[in-house]
């Protein structure tokens, strides 16, 4: 399922993204409320932190509910009953108090989507950043609507990043996933593939280097 995760804290977002990814979901992480309003159409479920830097999460929820019935699970650090009650009144389907227990998160997501009245559209596994589109099932990449041809390894690197869009993925993790046990000699190879990918996509903003750590797809 495509999960839009609105969370400004990198540590929390990283942990949630990883657990969602490991359980077969396709998380896209955004930092701001405005991004939720811009991207909710590409999601099957929203995990919404209430404390966002630009807009209060409840305000985001109110605006979203004016245009969408997307299932929403609110994440609150406040433990504050009033914001939870307000969130539910504004149309949140469920809530979780931080720190989130991961097993509970997965169970709630399942329950909420089971209850959702409109059956989910056949889950699309296309990830979009700007005008770069990565279709994980068809293994196709398009930039500005024009298909870009990638090698198997280039696609594997891009897919590993796109499957957790908006979140940094470490070099180690990329090498494990793309090369498996053969990664001992490939640190250099990863650099080569990334250079090639960047040249082919022609969108410098789509792949960000996180110095001393790894890479991120999308902003
Ligand atoms: Ca926050």
What pLDDT score was predicted for residue 136?
93
Give the Å distance between the CA of 51 and the centre of ligand 1. 4
Give the Å distance between the CA of 29 and the centre of ligand 1. 13
CATH fold for domain 126-217: Arc Repressor Mutant, subunit A (1.10.10)
- Is pLDDT at 119 greater than 60 in this prediction? no
Model confidence band, residue 84 (pLDDT cutoffs 50, 70, 90): confident
Q: Is the pTM of this model over 0.85?
A: no
What pLDDT score was predicted for residue 185?
61
Do residues 95 and 74 touch, judged by C-beta distance below 8 A? Answer: yes
Q: Beta partners for 210?
A: 214
Give the Å distance between the CA of 49 and the centre of ligand 1. 6
Residue recorded with tokens 């929203």: 46
Closest-CA residue to 151 (of 204, 181, 183, 195): 195
Domain parsing of the chain, residue ranges: 2-117, 126-217
Q: How far apart are CA 125 and CA 136, in angstroms?
A: 6
Report which of residues 121 and 15 the model is more confident about: 15
Give the Å distance between the CA of 11 and the centre of ligand 1. 11
Give the Å distance between the CA of 31 and the centre of ligand 1. 9
Among the four given CATH numbers 3.30.565.10, 3.10.20.90, 3.40.720.10, 3.40.50.2300, the one describing domain 2-117: 3.40.50.2300
Closest-CA residue to 161 (of 191, 136, 131, 138): 136
Give the Å distance between the CA of 93 and the centre of ligand 1. 19
Give the Å distance between the CA of 80 and the centre of ligand 1. 14
Q: On the CB side of 137, how many CA atoms lie within 13 Å of its CA? A: 6
Give the Å distance between the CA of 149 and the centre of ligand 1. 39
Q: How far apart are CA 79 and CA 115, in angstroms?
A: 25
Share of the chain above pLDDT 70, in %: 93
Give the Å distance between the CA of 185 and the centre of ligand 1. 39
SS3 letters across 162-213: HCCECCEEEHHHHHHHHHHHHHHHCHHHHHHHHHHHHHHHCCCCCEEEECCC
What pLDDT score was predicted for residue 114?
82
- Is pLDDT at 79 greater than 70 in this prediction? no
Model confidence band, residue 139 (pLDDT cutoffs 50, 70, 90): very high
Give the Å distance between the CA of 96 and the centre of ligand 1. 13
pLDDT digits (tens, 9 = 90+) for 23-68: 999 999 999 999 999 999 989 999 999 999 999 999 999 999 999 9
What pLDDT score was predicted for residue 184?
63
- Is pLDDT at 121 greater than 70 in this prediction? no
Q: How far apart are CA 6 and CA 49, in angstroms?
A: 6
Model confidence band, residue 133 (pLDDT cutoffs 50, 70, 90): very high
Model confidence band, residue 189 (pLDDT cutoffs 50, 70, 90): confident
What pLDDT score was predicted for residue 120?
52
First to last CA, the chain: 20
Model confidence band, residue 78 (pLDDT cutoffs 50, 70, 90): low
Q: How far apart are CA 62 and CA 57, in angstroms?
A: 9
């Amino acid at each position: 399922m495509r999960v839009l995760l609105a969370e400004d804290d990198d540590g929390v977002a990283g942990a949630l993204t990883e657990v969602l990814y490991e359980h077969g979901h396709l998380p896209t992480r955004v930092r701001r409320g405005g991004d939720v309003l811009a991207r909710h159409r590409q999601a099957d479920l929203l995990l919404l932190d209430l404390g966002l830097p630009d807009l209060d999460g409840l305000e985001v929820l109110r605006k979203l509910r004016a245009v969408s019935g997307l299932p929403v699970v609110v994440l609150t650090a406040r433990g504050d009953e009033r914001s939870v009650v307000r969130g539910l009144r504004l149309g949140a389907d469920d809530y979780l108090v931080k720190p989130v227990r991961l097993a509970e998160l997965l169970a709630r997501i399942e329950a909420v989507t089971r209850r959702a009245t409109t059956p989910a559209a056949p889950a699309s596994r296309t990830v979009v950043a700007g005008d770069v589109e990565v279709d994980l099932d068809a293994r196709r990449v398009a930039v500005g609507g024009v298909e870009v041809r990638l090698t198997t390894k280039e696609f594997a690197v891009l897919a590993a990043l796109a499957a957790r869009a908006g979140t940094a993925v470490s070099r180690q993790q990329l090498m494990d996933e793309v090369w498996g046990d053969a990664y001992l000699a490939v640190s250099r190879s990863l650099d080569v593939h990334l250079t090639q990918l960047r040249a082919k996509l022609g969108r410098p903003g789509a792949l960000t280097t996180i110095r001393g750590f790894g890479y991120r797809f999308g902003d």
